[in-house]
Amino acid sequence: MSRKGTEKFVICRDTEAVTHLEPGLFPAGRHSEWSEQNRTLTFAIHPLNNKIALAVAGKQPSPHLAKRAPVFEQDQVVHICGQPTADDSRLAFINDTHAVFSALQKIMEGEEHVGVDSLLRMSAVYREAMMRQLRELQAGEQTEFVVAETDTFQYMHAVWHLLEIIYLTTNLPGLSTSIVPHFMEWVNFNFPAPTAADGRRIVGDGSLVLANEELWPYIRKLAMRGHVSVLANMLERLVSAPELSAAAARWARDIARIARSMPLGSQEETAGSFNARWRRWNEELQNAATAIGSLLDPPASDVDVELEALYAVVDILRGNVDAIAAEGQSWLDVLGAILLYSEPTSQADRLPSLAILVAEQFPRTEFSVVDRSLFALLTHDLAEFLVFSNQIDPWLSAHISDVMDHISILDQCRAAFAAVDPREHYLVALGELYMAHEGLWRVGLDYFGLCGTPAARCVMAEYAVRVPLDSSVTVQQVLGLSQKYGLLRAEDRIHRQVAR
């Protein structure tokens, strides 16, 4: 039976997928005539991916049919059925990160000792690939799928970035081990708040309106996130507002000055010198809070709302944990503000206990999967961290488990996975996902091979002999990978298939 061509369609990812074929497999209004021609359905399943070829075929050979038997349009169409995957939109990302993964394995095999700085550079390349994919997604049409993919890549980058900071950045030789500036940079980059759009909406034509209900929440958010320069600019603009009281104008000016003088550590400065500068700065804030509080106590009949709002800002800046907890909209907000204003010299080993104390103030049932992943990472529950990372995306768990193995922290959670090695498990699972895509089978096989374990090689051998040998190029590629990883039985089976 001749075919004019193929008509591709996909099945939506619903609980129960419903597919409508055009043209329908049965001619409308001609069912009896179609049945008389002894037509039936035939299908073929692709050996690697989830696609099925579906067509109409005859029960009897065409010579046995009448010469003038009608030919239906349905007889000349092959339908290719399959579920859509994210791989098509990720092809460039998958190939780029596969190249980084391959290079990292060569580095780790070729050098007896790989420094933290080398691993940090490779980690940065992974993150840049994520950011490049994010930019492409954000620049395209914002369909439901694209929005979901954008969220996924933002979460992947946030998780990867925090892992990099905790285990690589703060372990660089000669670098200050304080986690605080790195953590604040991380939280502001991955979860930006307040946004630039918020500021433009509040400032408007350049003048601040005290009656704007968004003004003071915005200023407090600036304080929570450590944006002290922007905070100072906003307070200085307030000074010229005619409805501001003289006391409030004076303290707005003073708080702006104090905020601008917030101490920042440097590599050349000793910890003692920085602590002394920090104490003087904090004392100045304590004095400001005391002075403003005396103006508000006892409460006057005509309350100075702006003065109260300024006191709330000072309360955050001086590290009042209760004020920070009351203002924080998320546990990450609170954790960052406490580190920044109460414990500015904290090292990475302070994060687990502090994260637990902060997270206890928020309903754990409201935590998203990325919250759970980040919390597990901060508290060094690495087995849970990998499980939740896999729920975000299989790519993330596969590559993170590989990096964790290279920096010698994967052993801490291997016992929790019982008989399964986590790195092998996640890399093989990712390779199997890629094998289901007709354009990624070489990448999938390479992930099996580079995993380097006997079990992964067995999986690779099984998949290698299932690759459709539809061209001489494909044959040579499969044979090349089989030879590269020593898959002698697979190589022999492929030779026998070709010889048939």
Structure tokens belonging to residue 489: 């039985």
Q: What integer is the mean pLDDT of 155-182? A: 86
Q: What integer is the mean pLDDT of 163-168? A: 94
426: buried, middle or exposed (CB in 10 Å: 19+, 13-18, 0-12)?
A: buried
What are the distances in angstroms from CA 426 to CA 206, 389, 441, 471?
Answer: 53, 11, 17, 31
Q: 28 falls in which pLDDT band (50, 70, 90)?
A: low
What pLDDT sits at residue 18? 45
Over its C-alpha atoms, the chain yields an Rg (Å, rounded) of: 31
Q: Give the residue ranges of DSSP H helices in 210-345.
A: 215-224, 228-239, 246-260, 271-296, 305-317, 321-327, 331-341
What is the reported pTM?
0.82
The one-letter amino acid at 329: Q
What pLDDT sits at residue 54? 67
Residues 256, 239: Cα–Cα separation, whole Å: 10
What pLDDT sits at residue 457? 93
Give me the count of residues in the chain: 500
Q: 12 falls in which pLDDT band (50, 70, 90)?
A: very low
What pLDDT sits at residue 229? 94
State pLDDT tens for residues 88-147. 789 999 999 999 999 999 998 876 677 888 899 999 999 999 999 999 999 989 999 999
Residues 348, 110: Cα–Cα separation, whole Å: 31
What pLDDT sits at residue 23? 57
| Mean model confidence pLDDT for the chain | 84
Q: Residue 261 CB: number of other CB atoms within 10 A? A: 13
Q: How many Cα atoms are found within 13 Å in the side-chain-facing hemisphere of 488?
A: 0
Q: Residue 213 CB: number of other CB atoms within 10 A? A: 9
Instruction: Choose among 454, 443, 455: nearest CA to 95.
Output: 443
Q: Which of 17-21, 227-231, 447-451, 493-497 has the lowest mean pLDDT?
A: 17-21
State pLDDT tens for residues 359-416. 999 998 999 999 999 999 999 999 999 999 999 999 999 999 999 999 989 988 887 8
Structure tokens belonging to residue 214: 């968004």
Residues 320, 81: Cα–Cα separation, whole Å: 61
Do residues 435 and 444 touch, judged by C-beta distance below 8 A? Answer: yes
What pLDDT sits at residue 202? 82
What is the separation of C-alpha 154 from the centre of its chain, rounded to a whole number of angstroms? 4
Q: 207 falls in which pLDDT band (50, 70, 90)?
A: low
What pLDDT sits at residue 195? 81
Q: How many Cα atoms are found within 13 Å in the side-chain-facing hemisphere of 219?
A: 28
Of 158 and 240, which is predicted with more confidence?
A: 158
Of 217 and 436, which is predicted with more confidence?
A: 217
Residues 276, 295: Cα–Cα separation, whole Å: 29
State pLDDT tens for residues 311-321. 999 999 999 99
Residues 243, 246: Cα–Cα separation, whole Å: 9
Compute the C-alpha angle 173/179/183, nearest 5°: 125
State pLDDT tens for residues 325-360. 999 999 999 999 999 999 999 999 999 999 999 999
